[in-house]
Amino acid sequence: MDKVDDASSILQLGTAFAPAKILHSAVEVGLFEALQDEPADLGQICSKLGLNPRLTRDFLDALVVLGLLDKEKGRYLASETARKFLVPGQAGYVGGRIKIGGKLHYRAWQSLADALRDGLPKADIDADAKAYERLYGDPERARVFLSHMDASNVMVAPQLDECIAWSEYESFVDVGGARGQVAAILAGRNKHLRGGVFDFPAVRPYFDEIMAQYGTAEQVTFHPGDFFLNPLPSVDVYVIGHVLHDWSVSERRQIIERVSAAARPGSVLLIYDQMLDEDRPDLQSLIGSLNVALITPGGSEYTVAECRDWVENSGFRFLRAHRLPVGNDTVLVAERTA
Ligand SMILES: C[S@@+](CC[C@H](N)C(=O)[O-])C[C@H]1O[C@@H](n2cnc3c(N)ncnc32)[C@H](O)[C@@H]1O
């Protein structure tokens, strides 16, 4: 996003929520799946999706301007980008993240000024110790959440494959690995690896579905547990992605300590999150940090230096950190010392 430097760009920034809401609404009404194969005109779209034409024409034309619909002779069709990333079931689907952004996150952001005053989260779900139990107890919410996770990690997984020489290792576990998409992608690319996902027991059925989808059921094992309470498996490589930012600094230290307790000398730790760069701050990571602070009691993004301090104080040697070329994550690599 360009710097705001005149009245016109200030006014434009003041309505920057509107393009986001157009996207959120298109995903919510199921527009892209409805227009993935056959073009349709305004009337057909309205009757198919139960929409009122009064606002819908401008809504569709705005999506044409945004590049998410194509329009020819008054008929609309999902653009190639929308078909690839916004139609459920596609490998690159990111609609789960858009759905959560349009509801949970959007509502929390409406109370940013209150959060700045009191420092408290503003999501309309309780972020207490039972939050995950309630989430996974409701299959519909669980699927939306897990799809949101998949959308956030689908770009990361192939890049993690480049971060270390996986041929030198035999086993890995993804700590807080959700339904296992990262583990499945890593295992699929490295057939010699035995993989694992450590997450709450309730995630297991969703993990089984993903393993069946990727054909990695024989290669990746599910380890049920709570990483604050239960020991982690002893493996060569640990992945902790989009997890530390959900917790307070002392909880992040505890998670890394628990990895350290399970690791062997030479085990590698890969941590990825939208890490902050104090010298060259970027808006996307800062938005990510505010977002997680708005929905959790202790969460925020953090700098490489902070993360380096946590791992070095837990028996790891810092090896390197770099921003991944695609997306907005930074990965830190450390090795368990003897
Ligand atoms: C924000 S998601 C990140 C998922 C995945 N690593 C990714 O990059 O998309 C956090 C994950 O950690 C899991 N998790 C949270 N607290 C946990 C705990 N105490 N023990 C085990 N898993 C936990 C959640 O169930 C969820 O799958």
The residue whose CA has the least distance to atom 3 of ligand 1 is 242
Query: Distances from the Cα of 236 to the Cαs of 137, 279, 335, in angstroms?
Result: 33, 34, 10
What is the number of residues in the chain? 338
Strands ordered across the beta sheet of 330-336: 220-224, 195-199, 172-175, 237-241, 268-273, 330-336, 316-323
Residue corresponding to tokens 């690599």: 333
Q: How far is CA 203 from the centre of its chain?
A: 16
> Residue 246 CB: number of other CB atoms within 10 A?
19
Copy the structure tokens of residue 261. Answer: 């307790």
For the stretch 38-80, pLDDT in tens is 999 999 999 999 999 999 999 999 999 999 999 999 999 999 9
Q: Which whole number is the average pLDDT over 296-322?
A: 97
Topology given in CATH for the domain delimited by 7-85? Arc Repressor Mutant, subunit A (1.10.10)
Q: How confident is the model at residue 129 (pLDDT cuts 50, 70, 90)?
A: confident
pLDDT greater than 80 at residue 126: no
Q: Which whole number is the average pLDDT over 16-44?
A: 98
What residue segments make up the domains of the chain, in order of their start?
7-85, 131-336
Q: Counting Cβ atoms within 10 Å, is residue 22 exposed (0-12), middle (13-18) or buried (19+)? A: middle
Q: Which atom of ligand 1 is nearest to the CA of 174?
A: 6
Q: Is 148 a catalytic residue?
A: no
Report how far apart the first and last C-alpha atoms of the chain are (Å, whole number).
46
For residue 101 and ligand 1, the question of a CB distance below 6 A is answered with no
Pick the CATH number of 131-336 from 3.30.465.10, 3.20.20.70, 3.40.50.10680, 3.40.50.150: 3.40.50.150
For the stretch 73-108, pLDDT in tens is 999 999 999 999 999 989 889 999 999 999 999 999
pLDDT given at position 131: 86
Copy the structure tokens of residue 58. Answer: 């401008």
The bridge status of strand 316-323 relative to strand 268-273 is: unpaired
The bridge status of strand 75-78 relative to strand 316-323 is: unpaired
Q: How far is CA 298 from the centre of its chain?
A: 18
The preferred substitution site among 149, 153, 156, 248 for testing ligand 1, maximizing ligand atoms within 8 Å of CB, is: 149
For residue 227 and ligand 1, the question of a CB distance below 6 A is answered with yes
Q: Does pTM surpass 0.75?
A: yes
